[in-house]
């Protein structure tokens, strides 16, 4: 994963390159691993949000598998969304 101005490229199962925009990064209170939350936001399709563990040295992404990790991510995402709405208003 090469990050350039808050964006990076992932390659899907069909070898398509997809530009992703980073929403935020956090350190898990559950596993103490780095997590990146990102979106495939673009004009062609409905945006989706994703979260993955990431390795700072290699840039490798790994799926989040623990339910309590997803709960932590959801809490942070909700707080982030509320803050963004307050800032924009």
In a domain, 2, yes or no: no
Q: How many domains does the chain have?
A: 1
Residue 67 lies in a domain: yes
Q: What is the chain's pLDDT, residue by residue, as a tens digit (89 residues)?
A: 555 678 888 888 999 888 899 999 999 988 999 999 999 876 566 778 899 999 988 888 999 999 999 999 999 988 887 776 666 54
Give me the pLDDT at residue 11, please: 84
Is the CB of residue 74 less than 8 Å from the CB of residue 67? no
- For residue 80, the enclosing domain spans 7-88
pTM of the predicted model, to two decimals?
Answer: 0.78
Q: Is residue 59 part of a domain?
A: yes
Is 62 part of any domain?
yes
pLDDT at 4: 60
- Residue 4 per-residue DSSP state: B
CB atoms within 10 A of CB 5: 7
Assess if residue 1 is contained within a domain.
no
């Amino acid at each position: 994963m090469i990050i350039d101005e808050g964006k990076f490229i992932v390659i899907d199962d069909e070898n398509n390159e997809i530009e992703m925009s980073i929403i935020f990064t956090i350190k898990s209170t559950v596993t103490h691993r780095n997590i990146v939350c990102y979106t495939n936001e673009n004009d062609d399709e409905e945006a989706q949000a994703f979260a993955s563990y990431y390795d700072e040295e290699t840039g490798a992404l790994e799926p989040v598998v623990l339910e309590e990790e997803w709960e932590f991510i959801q809490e942070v995402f909700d707080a982030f969304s509320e803050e963004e709405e307050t800032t924009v208003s």
